[in-house]
Structure 1
Amino acid sequence: MKSSGSAGASVVTTPYVKADLVAHAPQGIAPGQPLQLGLLITHQPDWHTYWKNPGDSGLPTQLDWQLPAGLDAGEIAWPAPRKFPLGTLANYGYDGQVLLPVAVTVPPGWRADPLATEATFQLHASWLVCRQECIPEEGRFALQVPIQGTTALHAAAFQAAAEAHPRALQPGAGSSARVQDGALLLRVAGLPAAWQGRELGVFPETPGVVQTAASPAQQWQDGGVWTASVPLSPQRSEGPEPLPLVLTEGGAGVQLALPVEGGWPPAAALTTVSPALAAALAANAQVAQAAQAAVGTPVLAAPLTTWLAALVGALLGGLLLNLMPCVFPVLAIKVAGFARHGQDVRAQRLGGLAYAAGVVLSFLLLGALMLALRAAGEAVGWGFQLQSPAVVAGLAALFTLIGLNLAGVFEFGSLLPSSLASLQARHPVADSFLTGVLAVAVASPCTAPFMGASLGLTATLPAAQALAIFAALGVGLALPYVLAAWLPAVARALPRPGAWMDTLRRLLAFPMFATVVWLTWVLGQQAGIDGAAALLILLVLLALAVWTLTLRGRTRAVLAPLSIAAGACAVWVWGQKLVEVQPLPVAATAAPAAVQAAGTWQPWAPELPAQILASGRPVFVDYTAAWCVTCQYNKQTTLADEAVLQDFAAKGVALLRADWTRRDPAITAALGELGRSGVPVYVLHAPGRAPVVFSEILGRRELRQAIAQL
């Protein structure tokens, strides 16, 4: 869970803590002068964060600094912790307000920029805050500190942190630690005289050594020697030598290291597990860790029934994909192909099989690429290729060429050598295969019903089972064309070739141009109005170059090279911007209390659903992308329906939109948690209830029924 503060702020506030980046520079920033930074954490009542040894659970706070050149940050000077009992377990940490200070070294000879009056310190901090439940949080901070002058606003907090930090103590003669009868026997001389006769807090700095929740049996001997017996943890690993400890009394603490007499005995094996079983468990753990490191999620073969259900879902999803708007341009190409072959049944059948081969192989290659990227640690999902502006621009150029060809602006025979120009006529099977490849290129942004769950399962399956699901998806997409090609009744129903085919061909150019409009809009969502304008310029120059190549004689010899050179120059200048363009800025996310009224969509952020739910409000999340045609259809129909919006408002539902148009690992992770691999995904969260995930084709009735049950 990330913080609600924006990057560059010195304060981050969440529902559970307030975190401040603070500084203490009494004489400014200069060599030899003290300079301290710190994270000041103020906890809500009953919430706590953790010490460097968190105890039986939890995680210590981590600070990652970005400092001005030449400066160096030390380690956290951890204040003495306190114990938080949790039944038979216990944790070590802090509640209330705590400052985690860090000393910054300014080396001799360091000089600031002569024009600078302030130095900027940046911090990325992460912490785990717990009560009965635990919430991982993080924040990015920035603080400007005057280079000359005093920065002592938080001097009292740094002074209190210094006093709370355990002071180093050299234990007196005879001090030691010894392991005996399952316990750690401690003997310490030289402790403060004011502590004598009092019970001390014992905090090993190394996790997993002792039973954290146990209360040590301790006593004071003559001469001010303190002894204690602390039960060892049954799951302990080899202990440290010497043993670092923090002992506390009241608000004070000391830090010491005790020699371990006789060393640490080997950790006892679990007596309830046989050696053979222990070896098998260890081997299994290594395999699981290797798989986890490779793909980020456990890879296990699915039960046969689950896998078969996923195959059926993928097959049905592929069939329904033919009804999605993104496939309509390919439908146009296939209709033209059927009309061209006319009554030639053999050509129809071969073309159908070749088209199916192109579809299935393309789905397999796309699936293999997606699995390989995941194995390499990339957060990708279905439709990931259209998250790249370069791919979107390339597809727009391809469909522009196809549209110009169908409209009769040019013939491939006039642009290509005769051996290549006659390829389509001489090898219609190859032409059908490439049409299948094109079908997958334009169908991949869409997610049909049944596809979401099947594709989401591929993230957890071995490669063979996952690729079988992609193959089933391809079979479903190609199946109607294969059946149409092999059924004689379809061929008999087609009219004989004639002049009408030329009119049909020109008519089919317009779905191609409509696809170019959509792709330009998608790129505009990714790269802004300048990116969309750049693409339109490239497409105009592409059309100009194609047209000049259809000319003859000296006119072609003059205009064609000029138009091609202009197009190449535009590709060089603008193409770099399309490839390297940064995502558009996302509006800052408001804190739950400031989330606008139901009916107003807000940008999604990883922490927002949980924060809003904690305030008692239900949340509806729309996982969408500009390149997802199904998403845009649902957005303009069901999600724009007045009755649906009124239902949302009546129940006080917060509306969040997670835009996956550009790659966003946080959204990819959220989709993975829902068992999905692509968009659209629609989820309704309600306090105390399991999330409701809706179908990819979002229906008004099912959505309104779910809202009514809140």
Structure 2
Amino acid sequence: MLKHWLRFCLALLMAAGGAHAQAVISPPVQSEYSRAELLVHAPNGVTPGQPLWLGLQITHAPDWHTYWKNPGDSGLPTELEWQLPVGVTPGEIQWPTPRKFPLGDLANYGYDGTVLLPVPLRVGADFQGTALEAEVLATWLICRKECIPEEAAFRIRLPAQASWVAHATAFEQAWNAAPTDQPAADSLLQANGERLHIRLNGLPADWRGRALEFFPEAAGLIEPGSAWTQRWEGESWQAEVPLSRFRADSPARVALVVAPADAPGQGPGLRGVRMEVPVPEGWPPVAAPAGPGASAALQAALAENAARAAAASGAASGPSLTLWAALLGALVGGMILNLMPCVFPVLAIKVLAFSQHGNQLRAHRIGGLAYTAGVVLSFMALGGVLLALRAAGEQLGWGFQLQNPAVVAALAVLFTVIGLNLAGLFEFGRLVPSAVASLQAKNPTADAFLTGVLATAIASPCTAPFMGASLGLAVTLPAGQALAVFGALGLGMALPYLAASWVPAVARALPRPGPWMETFRQLMAFPMFATVVWLLWVLGQQSGIDGAAALLMMLVVLALLIWALGRGGRVRTVLGALSALGLGWLLWAAGPYVTRVQDASATATPTAIEGLAWEAWSPQREAQLLAEGRAVFVDYTAAWCVTCQYNKRTVLNHPQVLDAFAQQQVVLLRADWTRRDPVISASLAALGRSSIPVYVLRRAGQPPQVLSEILTVEEVRSAVLSL
């Protein structure tokens, strides 16, 4: 009898072994930061109406973590994209209770150690296959201080009649870690000013008196890392949590998870309770961007929090900058800024002012100090505006003033007037009251100060080639330290002129005043007009050809008005009045064409190599390409960025660089920041940058490679060919 029983058991084992031998599951995917594996639990095989589970198990490297469905202040939840046969549909991830990972005054929700994310599959009656053949693409963001996007593709073939219980223990642990659903009963949420008052009843009795954690399933509801209070009043747990300044409209109910705080060990948190709690009175609305861009602005705000989280934890994709290194970089970068093309017109104004002073050492020194004060204070003022807008939730970057068509048009008008004055078409003294003219003549110091202000306005977009990392750090520093970086940048830009004004040897080297100065003055008008052409081109990128043509017509009529006012008699009276009326009519009729922001074109721009083109960047497109295993090169650029245009023409369009892109099958994406775009601003902030140009080479599973601001052909080729 025993002999027959052993034979029967052996037959069962061989049958089970044969069924398992036919099953195919992709092997685990190992990286430096994690190990990902697809697990299966099918106790009844692939049978209609019977339970069938697949799950992504991630084992994190020490100190690394991934994210829950609501990642908190930053991060991205793990996503699974399924390809299943007819009759099989996936459910939602059964998320285990998360842990809370504080980052300074911010916090994230997620998992460390080993976590399994189980997904139920529903097998319908219309499933006709003899085996379940499925594919899943898993993407997740894994972070320590830096963050790395990772992905893995898995395939499975499971015979319909084969049971699979090898991973039963792992699934049992995951189900036990998931929060249990519980009716809200008389629990409720109620806004109290800018804080959310929470009252939950019916929680497990053994929790009473213990500290709990609160996890809303929807992002952007609360400030996860801010200080909050909690207490027990009998059987009722109550807490007050700060509402998010980026919160959406108040819903009727909020899905949330609560669980005991400070879970020991690693992996999921302690098993919690899930409720859908009513919000009977709602909460105060917040000012949100109007129109279709509102959701993008919210994404940008959340991405700003991600950048702040990285700053709070000392994160960066490369070596971190100390404050002193940032100050030194700002000082040196400001000095080199004097050589940038967009600063040259202002150089002309300043050099002309020096030549007018001749050997008057005192006038040189006072003018140099005034110019320095104008530059430094203007840079600090712009930095203050940037920091104030950052605090208000705006997503801006350095050079943002030229993202506004009205500012570009105003600068074009200003440089046109300066150019006409230098060319000798008019003198300011003839167009203004005598009191103002004499005041200007008696106060050359004010002129020098205003020259410094003008230099800052036109020069700041050119700072990125030498200031990208320093400014990226500055906008994440406390206000006082950030303003010190902006002040160092201004001091560096003004330093050569300050030295020239105080060192007699430099002053003696300047040419002596004479008739040549009038010729030199008129010659300096042409850089002004060249700058106007550049500004018109920038405006054309923002407002279209109609906007650029409208501004050009305004400039023509403005020049006619200035010329007429400089004449005498009836010419000044009649022609001046007519041109003033014409300019006013143009401002009324054509002004909207100048200040409008034209929709960006999403069409691809072909290169010299067939099949290789620049596509419009979006975070969705970049994520899609990375998920497909493609490498991408992102060019963060703008029409007003002179360095961007130089790199584009000399390096990015170079045949050797294009050949390297084509050889490695790199997809080219262009993030055009000419117009204000909070999503691009957020992407730059995530890279630790607030200015352009920025060039990033990405491949899934690898950290982003940020190239130099001033590119070389060899640098780009080497980076691309090393993929």
Q: TM-score, normalising length from structure 2? A: 0.62
* Aligned position for 2:435: 419
Is contact 2:380-2:486 (8 Å) kept? Answer: yes
Equivalents in 2 of 1:680, 1:406: separation in Å? 33
Question: Per-residue displacement from partner, 1:19-77 (whole Å, max 9, x unpaired)?
Answer: xxxxxxxxxxxxxxxxxxxxxx993259997659855469xxxxxxxxxxxxxxxxxxx
Equivalents in 2 of 1:288, 1:337: separation in Å? 59
Equivalents in 2 of 1:90, 1:522: separation in Å? 49
| Equivalent residue runs for 1:126-145 within 5 Å | 132-134=138-140
> What's the offset of the Cα at 1:577?
2.7
Select between 683-692 and 502-511 the one with higher mean Cα deviation. 683-692
> What's the offset of the Cα at 1:457?
1.3
Is contact 1:301-1:462 (8 Å) kept? Answer: no
Are 1:661 and 2:661 counterparts?
A: no
Q: 1:53 to 1:709 in 2, by over 3 A?
A: closer
Q: 1:648 to 1:554 in 2, by over 3 A?
A: same
CA RMSD of aligned residues (A): 3.9
| Equivalent residue runs for 1:459-478 within 5 Å | 459-478=475-494
Q: 1:598 to 1:375 in 2, by over 3 A?
A: farther
Are 1:267 and 2:267 counterparts?
A: no
| From 184, 205, 212, the counterpart of 1:240 | 184
Is contact 1:447-1:630 (8 Å) kept? Answer: no
| From 331, 335, 339, the counterpart of 1:315 | 331
Are 1:484 and 2:523 counterparts?
A: no
Equivalents in 2 of 1:405, 1:57: separation in Å? 67
* Aligned position for 1:44: 83
Are 1:298 and 2:308 counterparts?
A: yes
| From 450, 462, 473, the counterpart of 1:446 | 462
| From 336, 351, 365, the counterpart of 1:335 | 351
Equivalents in 1 of 2:598, 2:468: separation in Å? 28
| Equivalent residue runs for 1:520-539 within 5 Å | 520-539=536-555
Question: Per-residue displacement from partner, 1:281-315 (whole Å, max 9, x unpaired)?
Answer: 98657899789869745387798971111111222
Equivalents in 1 of 2:532, 2:367: separation in Å? 27
Equivalents in 1 of 2:177, 2:612: separation in Å? 58
Task: Name the amino acid aligned to 1:265.
Answer: A
Equivalents in 2 of 1:483, 1:135: separation in Å? 51
Q: 1:409 to 1:265 in 2, by over 3 A?
A: same
Equivalents in 1 of 2:517, 2:123: separation in Å? 79
> What's the offset of the Cα at 1:271?
8.4
Question: Per-residue displacement from partner, 1:338-372 (whole Å, max 9, x unpaired)?
Answer: 11111111111111111111111111111111111
Structure 1 gap segments, 5+ residues each = 1-40, 59-85, 98-128, 137-210, 217-229, 244-259, 274-280, 591-595
Is contact 1:348-1:486 (8 Å) kept? Answer: yes
Q: 1:262 to 1:429 in 2, by over 3 A?
A: closer
| From 349, 353, 359, the counterpart of 2:369 | 353
Task: Name the amino acid aligned to 1:325.
Answer: P
Is contact 2:547-2:595 (8 Å) kept? Answer: no
Is contact 1:320-1:449 (8 Å) kept? Answer: no
Equivalents in 1 of 2:431, 2:211: separation in Å? 80
Is contact 1:238-1:266 (8 Å) kept? Answer: no
| Equivalent residue runs for 1:109-508 within 5 Å | 132-134=138-140, 214=173, 240-241=184-185, 264-265=204-205, 267-268=207-208, 284=227, 296=305, 297-298=307-308, 306-508=322-524
Question: Per-residue displacement from partner, 1:174-225 (whole Å, max 9, x unpaired)?
Answer: xxxxxxxxxxxxxxxxxxxxxxxxxxxxxxxxxxxxx995588xxxxxxxxx
Equivalents in 2 of 1:657, 1:495: separation in Å? 47
Equivalents in 1 of 2:181, 2:561: separation in Å? 72
> What's the offset of the Cα at 1:651?
2.0
Equivalents in 2 of 1:644, 1:439: separation in Å? 35
Equivalents in 2 of 1:377, 1:439: separation in Å? 28
Equivalents in 2 of 1:272, 1:604: separation in Å? 42
| Equivalent residue runs for 1:7-86 within 5 Å | 43-45=82-84, 51=92, 55-56=96-97
Is contact 1:583-1:662 (8 Å) kept? Answer: no
Is contact 2:634-2:697 (8 Å) kept? Answer: yes
Are 1:694 and 2:707 counterparts?
A: yes
Task: Name the amino acid aligned to 1:704.
Answer: R
Task: Name the amino acid aligned to 2:516.
Answer: W
| From 556, 559, 568, the counterpart of 1:540 | 556
Q: 1:570 to 1:599 in 2, by over 3 A?
A: same
Structure 2 gap segments, 5+ residues each = 1-79, 100-112, 125-134, 143-169, 188-199, 214-223, 230-239, 247-300, 315-319
Question: Per-residue displacement from partner, 1:628-680 (whole Å, max 9, x unpaired)?
Answer: 11111111111122222222222222211111111111111111111110111
> What's the offset of the Cα at 1:93?
6.4
Aligned pair count? Answer: 495
Task: Name the amino acid aligned to 1:671.
Answer: L
Q: 1:640 to 1:420 in 2, by over 3 A?
A: same
Is contact 2:330-2:467 (8 Å) kept? Answer: yes
* Secondary structure at the counterpart of residue 133 of structure 1: strand
Q: TM-score, normalising length from structure 1? A: 0.63
